[in-house]
Amino acid sequence: MEVFGVDIGGTGVKGAPVDLVTGTLVRKRTRIPTPQPSTPAAVTEAIVEIVEKHGWTGPIGVTVPGVVQNGIVETAANIDAGWVGFDARTGLSDRLQMPVTVLNDADAAGLAEAQFGAARDQSGVVILLTFGTGIGSAYLYGGRLIPNTELGHLKFKGQKAEQYAAGRLVKRGDLEIDWWAERVNEVLLYIEELFWPDLFVFGGGISKRFESYSHHFSTRAKIMPAVLRNKAGIVGAAYAASIGAGHG
């Protein structure tokens, strides 16, 4: 079975058809720079271009960097504020003339890792965390998604957890990676105390360097680096569309 997945990011809109037996992209993904300003109308046209390039007709899954409830985008991170309150499911479905499922980007990554990646066959509680500009999160139990958890917004040491330990703190040079990893461990221990996961999946671009700092982590739960990485949004979006996951 194939379904088309689209991943909206702050710098790029990416899409490709996905084989939902293997979790692999059927064809090379198409990437278009995210329009500036990244209004719903402008991004919708980018999605139309990507879908038409592949000659796709059928269900489509789309990730958005924000909370999505019943197809409506409630927050916007790294995209235009005009997305807040936008009925993305209806707007995209009407423009594309195809059924569209919309969900949070970290939730899509969590679904992808649970179905095809690091958390495959994990029956308990899995928390995926993506470390980048902020900290995105996905919470799954028995492979089923509990959407829109936003664990990066937990209050920690008088600030949001993502202000304390986001991946951007290393990329822009505020912290050496060892100091950053020690902060991340504090956040992981705090999340573990609240939710008692069986597995943490560690995502975001910085997960490529996982082996260089993972010795700083001391959680009871196992921690594994994400497997699908930059494909996770596309794969998770397609999978969500196939099962009607999330609130989109």
pLDDT, tens digit, for every residue of 88-110? Answer: 999 999 999 999 999 999 999 99
Segments making up each domain of the chain, as ranges: 2-107+230-243, 122-226
Percentage of the chain modeled with pLDDT above 90: 94
Q: Which fold has domain 122-226?
A: Nucleotidyltransferase; domain 5 (3.30.420)
- Asked if residue 248 has pLDDT above 60, the reply is no
- What does DSSP assign to residue 80? -
Beta strands in 118-241 (DSSP E): 125-131, 135-141, 144-146, 155-156, 159-160, 199-203, 222-225
Give the CA dihedral 226, 240, 104, 107, nearest 10 degrees.
-30
Q: Summarize the confidence of residues 230-246 as an average pLDDT.
A: 89
In CATH terms, 2-107+230-243 corresponds, of 3.30.420.40, 3.30.70.120, 2.140.10.30, 3.40.367.20, to 3.30.420.40
> How many residues are present in the chain?
248
Strands 125-131 and 135-141, bridge-based pairing: antiparallel
- Asked if residue 39 has pLDDT above 50, the reply is yes
Give the CA dihedral 182, 65, 223, 125, nearest 10 degrees.
130
- Asked if residue 244 has pLDDT above 90, the reply is no
Residue that the structure tokens 């990646």 belong to? 117
pLDDT at position 78:
86
User: CA-CA distances (angstroms) from residue 239 to 19, 22, 38, 53?
Assistant: 9, 11, 25, 21
Cα(53)–Cα(55) distance, rounded to whole angstroms? 6
Say whether 95 sits in a helix, a strand or coil. Answer: helix
What's the pLDDT tens digit per position in 110-164? Answer: 999 999 999 999 999 999 999 999 999 999 999 999 999 999 999 999 999 999 9
Beta strands in the chain (DSSP E): 2-8, 12-19, 24-25, 30-33, 60-64, 68-69, 72-73, 100-104, 125-131, 135-141, 144-146, 155-156, 159-160, 199-203, 222-225
Could you give the count of Cα atoms lying within 13 Å of 169 in the half-sphere of its Cβ?
19
Tell me, yes or no, if the two domains 2-107+230-243 and 122-226 fold the same way: yes
- Asked if residue 246 has pLDDT above 90, the reply is no
- What does DSSP assign to residue 221? S
pLDDT at position 245:
55
Cα(5)–Cα(108) distance, rounded to whole angstroms? 10
Contact criterion met (CB below 8 Å) for 79 and 65: yes
